[in-house]
Amino acid sequence: MPLYLIIEKSVLVLFLFAVTMGVAAYSTWAERKIAAFLQDRLGPNRAGVFGLLQPLADGVKMFMKEEFIPSNAEKLLFIAGPGLFMFTALMTGAVIPWGPNLQIADLNIGILYVLGFVSVGVYGIMIGGWASNNKYSLFGAIRASSQMISYELAMGLVVIAIIMLTGSLDLKAIAEQQKGFNWNIIYQPFGFLIYCITALAECNRAPFDLPECETELIGGFHTEYSSMKLGFYLFAEYINMFISAAVIATLYLGGYNMPGLDYSAMNPIVGNAIAFVVLFTKTLLGVFVFIWVRWTLPRFRYDQLMHLGWKILIPLAILNMLLTGAGVLIFG
Amino acid sequence: MELIFFFIMAVLSVLSALTVVFAKSPVHSVLSLIVTFFLLSGQYVLLNAQFVAIVNLIVYAGAIMVLFLFVLMLLNLKDETEPQKSNLVRLSVTISAGMLLLTLIGSVRGAIAIPPSPAQSATVGLVENLGKILFSDFVVPFEVASILFIAAMVGAVLIGKRNKETDSEPLTTF
């Protein structure tokens, strides 16, 4: 591997890591501000202008809190849980194309890589919840794993429809094909809807936040966690949200393309910068919708969640796949 | 470079596979099995079989092992509650497993080493090539395998289905 490539990729990794962390930090602020707006309150406004320093204050608080490990917990796994959750959340971001040449790893199986890390992501919750040696944590962990397995299926089935449409598993190729206004959402409106619902469930966001449902399970899988280990769990949820919004934007909303923008005619640096801004704006809009949904819809009951996943979303996703296949056969 | 990666992953996967057998707690066994699957996926990537590597991750590490872990966590096995096997049972299990190992070694010894296929290019394991081969040269075994999967799924649904006369309401909430 030539040296300049290593340097280029390292800079890109560090930049995207910093962006992801920054967005995750300010998503917590946005979450509270939007919640306050929807509930006719003010929200955080003490630290800095509009409470903009609130994430910093929260971080300092998390680090200053007492570190507590329950005496009957599996110590090693208890510590590994939050780290693993954070790791899997960050790893998914490696294949997202942020611009024509702005991608950490251009894998030819990019979308499968995303699905793979989404399905492995549940281990952080399961290990943490089990190692806490607490009934509520265990229930949270079990709920999280069964919920994620159920919703992964529908997610995979709608992604198959996208693959049939574009003929590639490569996220870059999928983004390239949506040049101008040739977005996949036009051909796959139902797929888009199902993917968004499953993405909410995979991120454990309300209305699917049963693993940490505080009215039934105290804090769910992170009941026993304190200090920055709890911070990791909460923070990784926002990272998951950001990355899955970016994946939705890449798969359905044109990726870094915008009508009227042709990157091949531009200076590469300017083109990549504009492409990054375009995809970043779409992603932030997606994160906003995630937050909006959380403060609008009530939480599902557990049997309703399973019913929705297995008896409604999966049959609809299979139907979507069949119709797409027929469409590709006739018009393709 | 590739050789270094191969040896690091090979040693680690043997170690984690041994941990699966020797770990006292079943949850630790399952977790080290997951680590083994990850390392095996790494080996597939070194062999240019990216698709097999990621499918191994999604299906085995991501779905099947989650179910294993799920069941073990629900059972919550502890040393006190688990029935202890008698020495006679342990001895007989060791002997029969050893005999199985001998049989396997014997059958492998008699086999002819298959020469590596000449088409070991960087594109051999890509999805396009794999799909073309599966749907041309191996189409019959591939379709037979899919019928087998459907039969297994129907069987599982049939076993899992509630008998209305004998069973009470199923447990739908955790």
Distant-in-sequence contacts of A4-12, Cβ < 8 A, 24+ apart: A9/A104, A12/A102, A12/A104
Q: What percent of chain A has pLDDT over 70?
A: 100
Confirm whether B20 is domain-assigned.
Answer: yes
- Asked whether the CA dihedral A213, A214, A215, A216 is positive or negative, the reply is positive
Q: Is there a domain that residue B100 lies in?
A: no
B63 and B127, same domain (yes or no): no
Q: Do B73 and B127 lie in a common domain?
A: no
Residue B166 has pLDDT above 70, yes or no: no
Q: Looking at residue A315, what is its pLDDT? A: 92
* pLDDT exceeds cutoff 60 at B170: no
Establish if A213 touches chain B: CB-CB under 8 angstroms.
no
CA distance A187 to B125: 30
**Residue contact A142–B73, C-beta within 8 A:** yes
Residue B168 has pLDDT above 60, yes or no: no
**A154: which chain B residues are within 8 Å (Cβ-Cβ)?**
none
Mean pLDDT of B104-128: 71
- Is there a contact between B61 and A107 if contact means CB atoms under 8 Å apart? no
Mean pLDDT of chain B: 81
pLDDT band at A110 (very low <50, low <70, confident <90, very high): confident
Whether residue B7 sits in one domain with residue B66: yes
Residue-level pLDDT at B78: 61
If asked whether residues B61 and B127 sit together in one domain, one would say no
pLDDT at site B148: 94
| Residues in chain B within 8 Å Cβ distance of A148 | 66
Q: Looking at B77, B94, B114, which one is the last position of a domain?
A: B77
pLDDT of A74: 81
The reported pLDDT for the residue numbered B95 is 93
Higher pLDDT, B121 or B13: B13
Question: Could you say which of B42, B77, B112 is where a domain stops?
Answer: B77
ipTM computed for the complex: 0.80
| Biggest CA-to-CA distance, chain A | 64
In a domain, B61, yes or no: yes
Q: What is the pTM of this model?
A: 0.84
Give the pLDDT band of residue B119 (cuts 50, 70, 90). Answer: low
- Segment among A189-193, A303-307, B116-120 with least mean pLDDT: B116-120
Q: Using one digit for the tens of pLDDT, what is the confidence trace for A173-190?
A: 888 888 877 888 888 888
Tell me the pLDDT tens digit for each residue of A67-97: 888 887 788 888 888 999 999 988 888 888 8
Check pLDDT > 80 for residue B10.
yes
Question: Do residues B68 and B1 both lie within one domain?
Answer: yes
What pLDDT, on a 0 to 100 scale, did the predictor assign at position B163? 66
**Residue B98, domain member (yes or no):** no
Q: What is the 3-state secondary structure (H, E, C) of chain A?
A: CCHHHHHHHHHHHHHHHHHHHHHHHHHHHHHHHHHHHHCCCCCCCCCCHHHCCHHHHHHHHHHHCCCCCCCCCCHHHHHHHHHHHHHHHHHHHHHCCCCCCCCCCCCCCHHHHHHHHHHHCHHHHHHHHHHCCCHHHHHHHHHHHHHHHHHHHHHHHHHHHHHHHHCCCCHHHHHHHCCCCCCHHHHCHHHHHHHHHHHHHHCCCCCCCHHHCHHHHCCHHHCCCCHHHHHHHHHHHHHHHHHHHHHHHHHCCCCCCCCCCCHHHCCHHHHHHHHHHHHHHHHHHHHHHHHHHHCCCCCCCHHHHHHHHHHHHHHHHHHHHHHHHHHHHHHC
Check residues A297 and A2 and name the one with the higher pLDDT: A297
Q: How far is B45 from chain A (nearest CA, A)?
A: 12
Query: Does A130 lie at the interface with B, CB-CB under 8 angstroms?
Result: yes
- CB-based contact A115 B55, cutoff 8 Å: no
DSSP for residue B24: S
Average pLDDT over residues B13-29: 87
B102 in a domain, yes or no? Answer: no
> Is B173 part of any domain?
no
**Residue A302 C-alpha, separation from nearest chain B C-alpha, in angstroms:** 6
Binned at pLDDT 50, 70 and 90, residue B80 comes out as low
Is residue B128 one of the residues assigned to a domain? yes
Do B5 and B71 belong to one domain? Answer: yes
B105: distance to nearest CA of chain A, Å? 34
Domain membership of residue B51 as a residue range: 1-77
Do B64 and B127 belong to one domain?
Answer: no
Top pLDDT among A263 and A327 is at A327
C-alpha torsion angle, residues B124, B125, B131, B132 (rounded to 10): 0
* Cross-chain residue pair B70–A123, CB shorter than 8 Å: no
Highest average pLDDT, of A142-151, A280-289, B102-111, comes from A280-289
Same domain for B71 and B130:
no
Residues B71 and B141 in one domain: no
Render pLDDT for A37-54 as a digit per residue (tens, 0 to 9): 888 888 888 887 888 888
Instruction: Assign residue B11 the CATH number of its domain.
Output: 1.20.120.1200
Q: What value does the mean pLDDT take over residues A219-232?
A: 84
Whether B70 and B1 share a structural domain: yes
Q: If pLDDT is split at 50, 70 and 90, which confidence band does A288 have?
A: very high
Interface with chain A: mutation pick from B64, B128, B174, highest number of A CBs within 10 Å: B174
Q: Which residue of B has its CA nearest to A125?
A: B66
By C-alpha distance, the chain B residue nearest A120 is: B62
Q: Which of B15, B48, B77 is the endpoint of a domain?
A: B77
Interface contact B54-A122, CB threshold 8 A: no
> A119 and B55: CB-CB below 8 Å?
no
Reply yes or no on whether the pLDDT at B79 is more than 70. no
What residue in B sits closest to A77 (Cα-Cα)? B28
- Please judge whether A303 and B31 are an interchain contact, meaning their C-beta atoms are less than 8 angstroms apart: no
pLDDT band for position B96 (cuts 50, 70, 90)? very high
A217 has a chain B CB within 8 A of its CB? no
Determine which of A79, A123, A147, A299 to mutate to test the interface with B (most B C-beta atoms within 10 Å).
A123
What residues have CB less than 8 Å from A131, skipping those under 6 apart?
A73, A74, A75, A77, A78, A80, A81
List, as ranges, residues 58-87 from A with C-beta within 8 Å of B: 77
Tell me: pLDDT of B174 over 60.
Answer: no
Phi, psi (deg, nearest 5) at residue A67: -85, 120
| Displacement of CA A240 from its chain's centroid (Å) | 3
Question: How sure is the predictor about B102, in pLDDT bands with cuts at 50, 70 and 90?
Answer: very high
Say if residue B64 is in the same domain as residue B136: no
How many domains does chain B contain in total?
2
Report yes or no on B94 lying in a domain. Answer: no
